[in-house]
Amino acid sequence: MSDLRELYQELIIDHGRRPRNFGALEDASCTMHGNNPLCGDKLTLHLKLNGDIIENLKFEGSGCAISTASSSLMTEQLKGKTIPEALAFFDKFHDMVTTEHSFDTSELGKLKVMAGVREFPARVKCATLAWHTLRAALHGETEAVSTES
């Protein structure tokens, strides 16, 4: 278990330092801002939708290692997925980082490396910021997301 934990930590550190899908997306269909004032994480998420499919997504901003890694892992996971699939991932991810009981996380793929934040309640908002921002964008909301509203 400790080996697994180390592997997970390495993945988080790697994605925190070298985030994937980081930058502007010129042909984005929608852009949403997210803010976690408790930690100072700021995120701008760009989505390119083709009908029901998330053809591409990228993010910009500045945040702690957890929020950056979580955003990076999320963009990797959701590229090419449909909107309902992405919203289902939101629910599973949210459950994983907020509930005590363990459940089958195999469907979450690499995202399960974030499960450890459950033990650090202050970091849960860092890990879920990208996901709340995504959900707001997919629901067609226009107001920026804040974890403290």
The reply on whether position 64 binds Zn ion by CB under 5 A is: yes
Residues 6 or more apart whose CB falls under 8 angstroms from that of 102 comprise none
The reply on whether position 114 binds Zn ion by CB under 5 A is: no
| Site map (CB under 5 A) of Zn ion, residues 35-54, x = contact | ----x-x-------------
> Closest approach of Cβ 110 to Zn ion, in Å?
19
The reply on whether position 117 binds Zn ion by CB under 5 A is: no
Candidates 25-33, 43-51, 62-70, 141-149; binding stretch for Zn ion (CB under 5 A): 62-70
The reply on whether position 128 binds Zn ion by CB under 5 A is: no
Interface positions with Zn ion (CB under 5 A): 39, 41, 64, 67, 126
